[in-house]
Amino acid sequence: MTQNIKQIVEEALGVSSILEKPRDKRFGHFALPTFSFAKTLRQSPQAIAQEFAQKLESLPQIASVNVVNGYVNFSLSDMFLAQCAWKFLQQDSTSQASNVESQNAQEHILLEYVSANPTGPLHIGHARGAIFGDSLARIGRFLGFRIATEYYINDAGTQMENLGKSIYYAGRHLFFNAPYELPQDCYKGEYVLLLAEQAKDSLGLEVFENLSQIATLSCFGKDKMLEEIKANLAQVGIVFDNYVSEKELFTAWDSTLHALQAHNGVYEQEGKLWLKSSEYGDEKDRVIVRENGEPTYLAGDIIYHRDKFMRPFTHYINIWGADHHGYIARVKAAISFLGYDSNKLEVLLSQMVALLQGGEAYKMSKRAGNFILMKEIVEEVGADALRLIFLSKKADTHLEFDIEELKKQDASNPVYYINYAHARIHTLFAKSCFEILDFKNTKKEQYVESLKEMDENLRDLLVLSLGLDKVLLDAFVQRAPNKVVDFLKNLAGEFHRFYNETKILNTAKEEQILKVLIVVAKSLNLGLALLGVQAKESM
């Protein structure tokens, strides 16, 4: 609706406009500020507003217009609202195919997120970035953007060797009665002991006889952890389009290094090879090859980003943990030295999560060793509740929540509150003589005719419901799915208020009201779906 009326207004006025919501809804459904036109049109905002108002008054899509201090405020006609509502109801898919806008489809985005090292199960910090990335992809695809999702597997380097050692020493302890003493930087937790048990079953006891089997155990552990990570993600409805292995990409190290050298991006000093990252805003240059000739962790990321930029995408988005903030400059520097436009890389940061249970800090997982498992929280509160609460704030802000609050069946729990609104509408239809499908299949002329002369409260509810299109676009462009959560809470609240103040069934207005409420239900359903949440029809 919002994009539709914006286009109509712009065609009528011959200018590019910005539509806002008036602070006081009595002024109208939309406000058009005129201050930005004063310089080019050489008139005062008030005079411009009066001129614009006269042009808008003649539009059949607009019911009323008023001017206040340089703002053109206007309300939409019932006819236009009904037409938008009918069109919205005909849209039955959340897939890209039915919602492609040519302008959005021109942008092809590679979205990388999670990319946790395959050295252990996912924790709730990983979960926040995972849910954020998945929801961003869902919303973007709905809007017509072409988005590929990718998980970068850090399966090369020291962390893989440490995983192999961890499993080895766990096996020595379990099967050879050796003391359970782990070298520094090895991984702890019951999951390592489980990996040792699985390794014995698959590879035999001989894999624990000497340290020469570390590489074998590393590979085995990585594969098992990837299986678990994929299962953890599937629990919350996340499936990646593509997985990329750092180990496999390292075959391109020589050609990557040659590209850096060709653009004068590296130099040798103290027996090491350094990236000139300070030339692009990094606080200092970074080592990419150690004295022993081994590439560093950064080298792997440089290879990966070269691989990304060699593929036909127009934009690249990485979602990293907030602790990677200092890493952005060095990666962008490497991209520039590879000969690519680093402005095409956008890095979004996801803050960690503070988890409470009954007001107290949540206990760390024994299985994980030193962090809270994503799997455990999903099993306790459910995937839908976890997704919605993780999306309730912008990803780069601190998030603290109490899992006991998510179990409450009242208005304090946003998951319950939004779903209750959706379920209430379905309950109304179950008690009425009308069917939702009958209304959805109503001919356009009949549907529009039936929504004539709505009362103000019903009209406002319809306008709010049809504002989802603008919310989704803002949420994607601003990388803020929390805007969708805010919209859903607001819409649910307005519906509950309307429900409590209005007699609906067995009234003269029952059919009209229900035809609006199916639009409310569809907005709730679609908004939740694009956040990866299943709307409930009964509670």
- pLDDT for 102: 55
- pLDDT for 98: 46
- Of the candidates 384, 379, 323, 509, which has an alpha carbon nearest to the alpha carbon of residue 434? 509
- pLDDT for 40: 85
Q: Is 507 helix (H, G, I), strand (E, B) or coil?
A: coil
Residue 403 tokens, joined: 């899992």
- pLDDT for 97: 44
Model pTM score: 0.93
- pLDDT for 213: 95
Q: Is 253 helix (H, G, I), strand (E, B) or coil?
A: helix
Residue 95 tokens, joined: 């897939």
Q: What is the pLDDT of residues 497-527, one digit of tens each?
A: 999 999 999 999 999 999 999 999 999 999 9
- Of the candidates 447, 402, 36, 373, which has an alpha carbon nearest to the alpha carbon of residue 189? 373
Q: DSSP labels for 199-249?
A: HHHHH-GGGGSSGGGHHHHHHHHHHHHHHHHHHHHHHTT---SEEEEHHHH
- pLDDT for 369: 65
The list of the chain residues with pLDDT below 70 reads: 93-103, 364-369
- pLDDT for 371: 81
**Torsion sign, CA atoms 181, 164, 301, 266:** positive
Number of other CB atoms surrounding residue 37 within 10 Å = 21
- pLDDT for 15: 87
- pLDDT for 93: 64
DSSP 325: T
- pLDDT for 95: 53
Element (H, E) at 49: helix 45-56
- Interacting residues of 292 by C-beta distance below 8 A, sequence separation 6+: none
